Structure 1
Amino acid sequence: MSVDVGTENEPALDGVVDGSAESSSGTLVDADSDVDPTLSVVLPTLNEEEGVRWCIEQVKEVALEFGLVTEIIVSDSSTDRTPEIARDLGAIVVEPEAAGYGNAYKHAFEHVRGEYVAIGDADTTYDFGELPELIEVVYEEDADIVLGSRLEGEIKDGAMPPLHQYVGNPLLTKFLNTFYDAGVSDAHSGMRVIKT
């Protein structure tokens, strides 16, 4: 899907961005801040020290470029340096009581404060530079959720296990598009933006 996210004369996310001085600089807020973020980004992590820096830096660039007051919540069960790296970059690190991908999200969602919540893996699978396009669709189309796509209309070799590539993802994608006119190309995409 191609989405117009703004021009030089008309900035993207115009209705989403708070016009305050704090937000115009793309403030990254911490858990103790009295400022409510417009965007909460949740990154579940398990030993992602190789990718978490890149993901957080991308989110920070988006926040700065579009003047979004943002919080980054890393829900972490790592045994490596992932939480240390995330904290050093300004992320809020929370530790779920139970291990697992679903538990990481469940625990992180208890901490989000943003009007919009973006989720995605911190293993460099997703380009967080595309967040403005997803946020714009949620805002402009008054949608509750928008899914990103790793596939851009096609499944690339090695992108996922064969069972997912040839059965799971294509069937679910076709089902959603046929019965709900969802317009998705990657129903199993983990990069999503949700309006709270």
Structure 2
Amino acid sequence: MPILKLSVIIPTLNEEECIAQVIQEVASNLQGKGFEYEIMIVDGMSKDRTRDIAREMGAVVVEEPRRGYGRAYKTGFEKARGEIIATMDGDCTYPAESIAPLMEMLAREDLEFITTDRFGHMEEGAMSDMHKIGNLALSFFTRLLFGRIIRDSQSGMWVFRKDALPKINVKDDGMPFSEEIKIEAFRKLRSKEVMIAYRRRMGEVKLSSWRDGWNNFKFLWHKRFRGPRDKSLRASRSP
């Protein structure tokens, strides 16, 4: 029987302060679990020592000069060798100890995609009040516009089967990628949302509450109302 392989994909940009701890936590929580794994850092051309530290820690490092949160994940998905993919950030916020239990749940419940909810067990100070309000608002509009019960549309920790990716159509290269992959998964895949712990980040906060929040909202509106219309227009213009 072939041994299952997992790819843990971590997008980074100037995360030298915490990336070694993240890689160590992932490795220590996956060793001896009965499956092979790789830790892949998809780096957006950091100006600090993020890539050097990751290589020293034994991670696979992929350089992605094209900017964008979604672009980093798309590149990682293409290069991942595992049948199962897990994602998390490089800032020490997500719990590496949850990866193996989520993989077990994926198999036990015959799921294709699991996303996580950070709000049930959030460490004090892990998210600013502005970011918290923005996240809750975006999650509300995701539920309202798409009719899918997703409590945390912006969570960046997912565990899913790689062979499910061709069944969904995730287009965005930026921050909206996070909400888009969940919308697509809950529409087309056997999916579930699970609570996890969420910790304070280390290093510089790179999100802009107003800019990123507004871009995410515009994306939701466009995907819900303009996407289907654009497709129909293209179809009507085809010879």
Distance 1:134 1:114 in 2: 15
Q: 8 Å contact 1:121–1:191 — kept in the other structure?
A: yes
Q: 8 Å contact 1:134–1:147 — kept in the other structure?
A: no
More strand by share: 2
Aligned-pair identity in percent equals 35
Change over 3 Å in CA distance of 1:156–1:164 after alignment to 2: farther
Q: Does residue 168 in structure 1 map to residue 138 in structure 2?
A: yes
Task: Report the counterpart of residue 21 of structure 1 in structure 2.
Answer: none
Q: Which amino acid aligns with 1:167?
A: A
Deviation at 1:67, TM superposition (A): 2.9
Task: Please give the secondary structure, in 1, of the residue aligned with 2:119.
Answer: coil
| The one of 118, 129, 137 aligned to 2:86 | 118
Task: Report the counterpart of residue 75 of structure 1 in structure 2.
Answer: 42
Distance 2:90 2:122 in 1: 23
Task: Please give the secondary structure, in 2, of the residue aligned with 1:90.
Answer: coil
Distance 2:51 2:108 in 1: 35
More helix by share: 2
Change over 3 Å in CA distance of 1:49–1:74 after alignment to 2: same
Deviation at 1:127, TM superposition (A): 0.8
Change over 3 Å in CA distance of 1:149–1:78 after alignment to 2: same
| The one of 31, 55, 65 aligned to 1:87 | 55
Task: Report the counterpart of residue 30 of structure 1 in structure 2.
Answer: none
- Write out the 4+ residue segments of structure 1 that deviate beyond 3 Å after TM superposition: 153-158
Task: Report the counterpart of residue 188 of structure 1 in structure 2.
Answer: 154
Change over 3 Å in CA distance of 1:153–1:86 after alignment to 2: closer
Distance 2:136 2:69 in 1: 24
Deviation at 1:139, TM superposition (A): 1.1
Change over 3 Å in CA distance of 1:96–1:162 after alignment to 2: same
Q: 8 Å contact 2:113–2:159 — kept in the other structure?
A: yes
Q: 8 Å contact 1:153–1:185 — kept in the other structure?
A: no
Q: 8 Å contact 2:135–2:152 — kept in the other structure?
A: no
TM-score with structure 1 setting the length: 0.71
Task: Report the counterpart of residue 134 of structure 1 in structure 2.
Answer: 102
Q: For structure 1, which runs of at least 5 residues remain unmatched after alignment?
A: 1-14, 19-36
Distance 1:158 1:71 in 2: 28
Distance 2:107 2:65 in 1: 34
Task: Report the counterpart of residue 104 of structure 1 in structure 2.
Answer: 72
Change over 3 Å in CA distance of 1:162–1:72 after alignment to 2: closer
Deviation at 1:80, TM superposition (A): 0.5
Q: Does residue 53 in structure 1 map to residue 20 in structure 2?
A: yes
Task: Report the counterpart of residue 5 of structure 2 in structure 1.
Answer: 38
Distance 1:59 1:154 in 2: 20
Change over 3 Å in CA distance of 1:175–1:66 after alignment to 2: farther
Q: 1:114-151: per-residue Cα shift (whole Å, max 9, x none)?
A: 01000111111101111112111211111111012222
Q: Which amino acid aligns with 1:168?
A: L
Distance 1:179 1:96 in 2: 34
Q: Which amino acid aligns with 1:193?
A: V
Task: Please give the secondary structure, in 1, of the residue aligned with 2:9.
Answer: strand
- Alignment: residue pair count: 159
Task: Report the counterpart of residue 4 of structure 1 in structure 2.
Answer: none
Find the structure with the greater CA-based Rg: 2
